[in-house]
Structure 1
Amino acid sequence: MFKIERLNSRRPILEVVENNPWENKVVFNPACVLVEDRDEIGEIIESIKPDKETLTEIQKHDAICFLIYRAQGRMTQNYDYRRSSLGLAILSPDLNLIKRFPYPILKPEEKFEDLGVEDPRITKVGDRYYMFYTGYQSGKEKNKINICIAETKDFVHWTKHGILKGRLNEVDNKNAVLFPEKINGKFVLLHRPMEGEGAMFIHYATSDNILGEWNDEGVLFESISRSGFIKTWNGAGAPPLKVGEGKYVMIYHIGNLKMDGTREYDLGIAVIDEDRNRYIKFVKKFEPFMCPETEFETRGDPELGVNNVLFICGSYFYSDYLYFPYAGADSVILGGRISKDEILRWALT
């Protein structure tokens, strides 16, 4: 249905950096933010003070993509870089690399994330960017998976606010994405509990305050069982994008378990409407709209053995396209785009 263009000749837009121990194994699951306001770009430049070459490249573009990605390295004698950190890259709006920072912008330093900071998603609220990410925490009997939150104004300097408040983290939980504006006076968050009622499907939650208590409102939509798989689940991917009054589109991931025990992760796209009674309601979806096909999508790092995976944490509209960086086989970061007109025709009819 959708004509997908794989960018950069189907090759990665970001790969591992052998000389950086925190990202010399795999890089994947990128969040992204497109900043189009020139004054804001100027404030970010003033805060991060890029080198002259980077500044010159930034000034060539009318908008800038800030990409925050998950990275893992190898275990060393002094540090276990297998614990995920988050890195930062600056790209042009059409996903060409301008600057990649040699150090992580978020590291697993707190108790609630001591085994890794993973899978960021970012939404702007007011003059700040809020990142919901997965904190992987060690435990005596079993490890714990938490939804955590941090904020920034420049993508380099982050303030951590810890585990999301409320009952959402009473069970293992992840894949949290925030809607770009309040709905019926509430902030609305998608999440995916891994245990309990409606486990492994996309839920939504509401709160009066991003940093306050969050309340689960139940399952938004499930995934459809598909031929050839013995189990199917889903999870929110990129934060929803507004496409009309009270209407949003969202790219999400679909997990599938095969008969031989291996997994495949595909991408779906859904339309979500505001609803006066339930805050939001699921309208329709198209799944899968993208499946692993290319070399970098079907074969990952040979030691980790993660193959046939597409995973997304961010997207944006720019010019005539919907752009979406995504992970291929938990090992590299790739880029794709779809015609904006195609998306809008499908979403609004």
Structure 2
Amino acid sequence: MISIKREGIVLEKTELVFENEGVMNPAVVKSGDLLHLFYRAVSQGNHSTIGYCKLDGPLSVIQRDSIPILSAEFNYESHGLEDPRIVKIEGLYYMTYTAFDGVNALGCLAVSKDLIHFEKKGIIVPTITYKEFSELTSSKRNISSKYFRYNQQNGITEKEGKKILLSDKNVIFFPRKINGKFCFMHRIKPEIQIIVAVKSLKDLTPAFYKNYFLNFNDHILLTSRYDHESSYVGGGCPPIETPHGWLIIYHGVKDSIKGRIYSACAALLDLDNPQIEIARLPYPLFSPKRDWELEGEVNNVCFPTGTAIFKDTLYIYYGAADEHIACVSVSLSGLINELMLNTTKNDN
């Protein structure tokens, strides 16, 4: 069993209005020995913006902005910008985040050349209702019944004057094009799905997504397999390219008598065809154990969203109990070796 080191809390909430309720779930990008963290900052009333801080090395904060770097501008994000992730592809930074309008939570994209000025590209996931989703996927006999349980909203189709759409979160790009095409993960509960072979993001049209849902089973990437992820799984950190495959740090959720428990999990995907799962840890990489993970705005949460590599050490940054940003470290080579001892037969 691979061992991890808890490095402790990296960032806490402050008295500043935009982050006085909590900080969590950072996007992380490395530049030399510096780290740029773009984190979810929560104000009173559960309104989120994206804050920014800079680290020298993996753990030392040397700069922290007193105002958000990104905040709500459009109706689709009027109640918050949540859980950013970031990668750099061909000289351009792609930051994805979840936009919340008070009713719907949908994956969005913003791009930047300098990590200072970001251009919002809007919602990039499908904007369909559960009824439309159900109709498009109804011919797929093997689709999990959990999709009905998590997404049908008890038959309610409208709330606060807004149409209820299928929730689609955790949009995470692979950090390079694969065979010349964009590839990203997203999550419609209870599984992680993948979108591959998109030459241009302009190709993500309603017609594209209609065909996507007609062949929905082909796009399911990871589904629950072990006890610690028995309720559902969701995306975590951007994929890390290794000689053995794409290392995926994701989150798994288990319902318990104490409520839901969020753990960090690890899997390995094929480099040329990331729809092929090579290996998966049969146990959590790490789960809530420390006080700051067990109790907070939401108890029992370790929610990984960003990583940085220093030599052979992988630092994983995560939201702890929806209140703090914390970090663990692990040997990268050791983690890959452990995964290769737990290869899986791909079912696709």
Question: Shorter-chain TM-score: which interval?
Answer: 0.7 to 0.9
Q: Which amino acid aligns with 1:237?
A: G
1:323 aligned residue = 315
> 1:34–1:93: 8 Å Cα contact kept in structure 2?
no
Moved over 4 A (4+): 165-170, 214-217
Unaligned runs of 5+ in 1: 37-62, 76-81, 195-199
5 Å-filtered alignment, 1:281-320, equals 281-286=276-281, 287-301=283-297, 306-320=298-312
Give per-residue Cα distances to partners, 1:128-157, cap 9 Å, x unaligned: 11011100124xxxx111110001123232
Name the CA distance, whole Å, in 1 between partners of 2:78 and 2:52.
20
Deviation string for 1:229-252 (max 9, x for gaps)? 9x510001000000016x110110
Alignment partner, residue 223 of structure 1 = 224
1:265 counterpart (251, 262, 267):
262
Cα distance 1:181–1:85, how it changes in 2: closer, same or farther (>3 A)? same
Residue 333 of structure 2 aligns to a residue whose secondary structure is helix
**TM-score, length basis structure 1:** 0.79
SS at structure 1 position matched to 2:292: helix
> Normalised by the size of structure 2, how large is the TM-score?
0.79
Counterpart AA for 1:186: K
Q: Deviations over 1:55-114 (max 9, x none)?
A: xxxxxxxx2100010011225xxxxxx310000000022221111111101112211111
Q: Does 1:109 align with 2:73?
A: yes
* Correspondence 1:30 to 2:26: yes
2 CA distance for matches of 1:235 and 1:258?
18
Asked if 1:251 corresponds to 2:219, the answer is: no
Structure 2: 5+ residue runs without aligned partners?
130-164, 213-217, 342-348
Q: What does 1:149-168 align with in structure 2 at a 5 Å threshold? A: 149-164=109-124
Name the CA shift for 1:236/1:168 in 2 (closer, same or farther; >3 Å).
farther
For residues 115 and 19 of structure 2, the distance between their equivalents in structure 1, rounded to whole angstroms, comes to 18
The answer to whether the aligner puts 1:233 opposite 2:223 as a matched pair is: no
Deviating more after overlay: 214-223 vs 91-100: 214-223
Where 1:84 maps in the other structure, the secondary structure is strand
* Structure 1 residue 171: Cα displacement: 2.1
SS of 2:169's equivalent in the other structure is: strand
Give the match's secondary structure for 2:172.
Answer: strand
Report the aligned-residue RMSD.
2.1
Q: Between Structure 1 and Structure 2, how many residues are aligned? A: 294
Q: Secondary structure at the match of 1:122?
A: strand
Deviation at 1:185, TM superposition (A): 3.0
Q: From the superposition, tell whether residues 267 and 168 of structure 1 become closer, same or farther in structure 2 (CA, over 3 Å).
A: farther
Sequence identity, in percent? 32
C-alpha contact (below 8 Å) 2:280/2:339 kept by paired residues: no
Tell me by how many angstroms 1:174 deviates.
0.3
- 1:274 corresponds, among 271, 296, 300, to 271
1:1-349 equivalences under 5 Å are 1-7=1-7, 10=8, 12-18=9-15, 20-36=16-32, 63-75=33-45, 82-138=46-102, 143-164=103-124, 171-194=166-189, 200-206=190-196, 207-213=198-204, 216=212, 217-226=218-227, 232-244=231-243, 247-259=245-257, 262-275=259-272, 280-286=275-281, 287-301=283-297, 306-347=298-339
Question: Is the 1:29–1:311 Cα contact (8 Å) retained in structure 2?
Answer: yes
| AA matched with 2:48 | S
